[in-house]
């Protein structure tokens, strides 16, 4: 395995000094090291991977240097447009180093299997040359030398694909500080306990769906009122909107996260202008991409309820403890509504994963919807 420090130092010594992207669980050790050892100006966690490519392009044009963009392979979809219509040698021919975590290469969660299978084919289809990083440090350094030489020779993009277990363990030192006492799991339990019986929940990617699934099991409840969005980060609100508009007699709750909201914030405008009278958007904000290593988001520094209000949500509020959350859920007087729940970072060590297959979750959920 490669020491994150050795890898980082080698990049810096080769004048790769600017990093941007979206954190990934396979890259969490190197991303954590980058976060701890790079100024906030030179390591920007982007809203989504496509934004990161644009940011990197701007950096190169301003400095003439090679930037690095990091991501999980699931984020390749967000990069297709800027890679092909901005970075490509047939357009602006901008040099760029990609670092891509290869989820789904071997046994993995269902949402990663297909992505893992086609990752290299996608890069081939886009004409992005790549290599799979060796776990031996000396071989890896030779590969970095080769990738950078190709980038400089052709003034274009090159990708480094990272397998699971390539980097040694490293824990981020820049912990997210907050005074919030409520945990995400506690907030989810409060929300479920306040349900009246026929509500539908669309939960976002990450630990929120896992905690929702386990609490339903703990209470002996069925899972057919919950759609667990195990992939497609940032799209839960639009899935919920599509349901709400076509099932107006059912209250639809989108259980969202701060990182997911930031990834596709334009979704607020679509919810607000469609204005479904049965739509509740709950954003659990812990200021972190917790599922992929605890990298920070910027969500503690913005006002999500005000943004939602400006996008025609009729009721918006921020809460930070159990009593405020219970009161907010009781006092909604107009829809679409948004409740931002401020929470601390952290999850149980023994938190499991949904035992239901995604396709079975969808079938059960649709049978529930068909009862109306």
Cα distance between residue 110 and residue 337, in whole Å: 32
List strands edge to edge, sheet with 200-203: 226-228, 200-203, 252-257, 279-285, 337-342, 315-319
Q: How far is CA 321 from the centre of its chain?
A: 25
- Half-sphere exposure of residue 300, counting CA atoms within 13 Å on the CB side? 17
Cα distance between residue 6 and residue 198, in whole Å: 54
Do 204 and 213 form a contact (C-beta atoms < 8 A)?
Answer: no
Res 113: pLDDT: 86
Q: Is the dihedral of CA 171, 176, 177, 179 positive or negative?
A: negative
The predicted-structure confidence for 138-176, as pLDDT tens digits, reads as follows: 999 999 999 999 999 999 999 999 999 999 999 888 778
The region of weakest confidence among 22-26, 119-123, 300-304 is 22-26
The predicted-structure confidence for 81-114, as pLDDT tens digits, reads as follows: 999 999 999 999 999 999 999 999 988 888 888 8
Q: Is 53 helix (H, G, I), strand (E, B) or coil?
A: helix
CATH class of 184-369: alpha beta
Res 346: pLDDT: 87
Look at the block and give the residue holding tokens 């990091």.
Answer: 70
Res 224: pLDDT: 96
The predicted-structure confidence for 198-255, as pLDDT tens digits, reads as follows: 999 999 988 999 999 999 999 999 999 999 998 899 999 999 999 999 999 999 999 9
Q: Which residue in 207, 201, 210 sits closest to 240, CA to CA?
A: 201
Check residues 20 and 351 and name the one with the higher pLDDT.
20
Assess if CATH 3.40.50.970 describes domain 4-162: yes
Do 157 and 127 form a contact (C-beta atoms < 8 A)?
Answer: no
Average pLDDT score over residue span 8-21: 98
Cα distance between residue 135 and residue 336, in whole Å: 50
- Chain region(s) in the chain for CATH 3.40.50.970: 4-162, 184-369
318's enclosing H/E stretch is: strand 315-319
Cα distance between residue 145 and residue 139, in whole Å: 10
Res 316: pLDDT: 98
Burial 186-204 (b: 16+ CB within 10 A, else e): bbbbbbbeeeeeebbbbbb
Q: Is 194 helix (H, G, I), strand (E, B) or coil?
A: coil
Do 158 and 130 form a contact (C-beta atoms < 8 A)?
Answer: yes
Do 310 and 253 form a contact (C-beta atoms < 8 A)?
Answer: no
Residue 167: CB atoms within 10 A of its CB come to: 24
At 372, the pLDDT band (50, 70, 90 cuts) reads confident
pTM for the complete prediction?
0.93
Q: Which residue in 271, 279, 272, 264 sits closest to 232, CA to CA?
A: 264
Which DSSP symbol is given to 291? G
The predicted-structure confidence for 314-336, as pLDDT tens digits, reads as follows: 999 999 999 999 999 999 999 99
Q: At what angle do helices 207-218 and 184-193 cross, to 10 degrees?
A: 50
Q: What is the DSSP string of 103-160?
A: TTSSS--HHHHHHHHHHHHHHHHHT--EEEPPSSHHHHHHHHHHHHHHHHHHTSEEEE
**Do you know the residue count of the chain?**
372
- Half-sphere exposure of residue 53, counting CA atoms within 13 Å on the CB side? 28
Do 276 and 223 form a contact (C-beta atoms < 8 A)?
Answer: no
Task: Write the CA distances from 109 to 6, 115, 260, 292, integer angstroms.
Answer: 30, 11, 19, 14
Q: Which residue in 255, 258, 210, 253 sits closest to 230, CA to CA?
A: 210
């Amino acid at each position: 395995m490669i020491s994150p420090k050795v890898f980082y130092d080698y990049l810096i010594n080769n004048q790769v000094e600017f990093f941007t992207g979206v954190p990934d669980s396979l890259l969490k050790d190197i991303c954590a090291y980058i976060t701890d050892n790079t100024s906030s100006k030179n390591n920007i966690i982007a809203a989504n991977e496509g934004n990161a490519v644009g940011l990197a392009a701007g950096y190169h044009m301003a400095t003439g240097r090679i930037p690095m963009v990091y991501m999980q392979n699931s984020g390749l979809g967000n990069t297709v447009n800027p890679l092909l219509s901005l970075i490509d040698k047939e357009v602006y021919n901008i040099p760029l180093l990609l670092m891509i975590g290869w989820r789904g290469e071997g046994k993995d969660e269902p949402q990663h299997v297909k992505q893992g299978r086609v990752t290299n084919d996608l890069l081939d289809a886009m004409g992005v040359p790549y290599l799979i990083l060796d776990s031996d440090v000396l071989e890896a350094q030779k590969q970095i030398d080769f990738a950078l030489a190709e980038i400089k020779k052709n003034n274009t993009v090159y990708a480094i694909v990272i397998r699971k277990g390539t980097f040694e363990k490293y824990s981020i030192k820049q912990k997210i500080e907050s005074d919030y006492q409520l945990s995400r799991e506690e907030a989810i339990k409060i929300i479920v306990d306040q349900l009246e019986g026929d509500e539908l929940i669309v939960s976002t990617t990450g630990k929120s769906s896992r905690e929702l699934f386990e609490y339903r099991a703990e209470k002996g409840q069925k899972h057919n009122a919950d759609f667990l969005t195990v992939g497609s980060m940032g799209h839960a609100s639009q899935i919920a909107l599509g349901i709400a508009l076509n099932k107006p007699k059912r209250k639809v709750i989108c259980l969202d996260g701060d990182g997911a909201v930031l990834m596709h914030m334009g979704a607020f405008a679509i919810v607000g202008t469609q204005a479904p009278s049965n739509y509740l958007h709950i954003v659990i904000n812990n200021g972190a991409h917790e599922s992929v290593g605890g990298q920070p988001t910027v969500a503690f520094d913005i006002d999500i309820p005000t943004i939602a209000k400006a996008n025609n949500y009729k009721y918006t509020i921020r809460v930070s403890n159990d009593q405020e959350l219970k009161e907010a859920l009781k006092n909604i007087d107009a829809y679409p509504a948004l409740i931002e729940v401020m929470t601390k970072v952290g999850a149980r060590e023994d938190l499991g994963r949904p035992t239901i297959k995604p396709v079975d979750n969808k079938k059960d959920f649709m049978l529930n919807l068909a009862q109306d």
